[in-house]
Amino acid sequence: MSTQTKKSEVKILHGSRSYVLHELQKIHSEKLLAIQADHFKASEFKQFGDNISKIVLAMRGVFAEKIEQKALFQIVEILTNVPVAKPHLLQEVSMSISARKAVINSGEWLSAAQITELADPSASDPSAQPNRWKKKGQIFAIKHNGVNYYPGFALDSTAGYRPLKAVKEIIDIFKSTKGSWEMAFWFQSSNSWLGGLKPQNLLANDAQSVIFAARKEVEEIVHG
């Protein structure tokens, strides 16, 4: 049974009902978020609590951007009888949150308005052209805080910042196995088929190698 407190002012309690109720007397927040976990084995319970802590702390950076460093958890309401995920799934969620944050913070992603400012500053609708490209499968976008962001590395600066031709082929290769975020992770991760380089760094000058790596990725997924 333990209490974890970080500088983020997020307090994680996990333990028996009597322990948590006792510790709650020391917390002055008016609202709480509680997760009931009746069916965990004793050996799994601490790991479950630790994984919840990791998820909350990983999410802190995401929420902090939106609420401008105000307290992350002004806890919302008590939840009970929530189905509990297995510890390894919670770990995957924590890793996914961290990976998404790394993508967003990489500086490689542009809003539709930013692309239009580069390609056609006189356009009356800054979202129209990037949205058309997306609908045609010529580019993809990730959504963050309700806004679509497009990969800057997928644009050809020598051709009016239009999508590189290879991007559509790669999207077609991945369409049945990867969503937008998964493609973002793939482009920004070291790739063994590319000698440890990132696909995004080769896309403009060695597109065929990136296409080859994408096909190999799908083959590995399909054949396990």
Tens-place pLDDT, residues 175-218: 999 999 999 999 999 999 999 999 999 999 999 999 999 999 99
pLDDT digits (tens, 9 = 90+) for 37-68: 666 666 666 676 666 666 666 555 555 444 44
Res 82: pLDDT: 43
pLDDT for 79-105, tens place per residue?
334 455 555 555 566 667 778 888 888
CB neighbours of residue 76 within 10 Å? 9
**Distance (Å, whole) CA 65 – CA 45:** 31
pLDDT of residue 7 exceeding 50:
no
Q: With beta carbons less than 8 A apart as the criterion, state whether 139 and 133 touch.
A: yes
Does residue 206 contact residue 197 with C-beta atoms inside 8 Å? no
pLDDT value at residue 59: 59
CA 80 to chain centre: 27
Return mean pLDDT, the chain: 77
The DSSP 8-state label assigned to residue 157 in this structure reads G
> Global pTM?
0.61
- Cβ neighbours of residue 160 under 8 Å, at least 6 residues apart? 119, 120
The amino acid present at 142, given as its one-letter code, is I
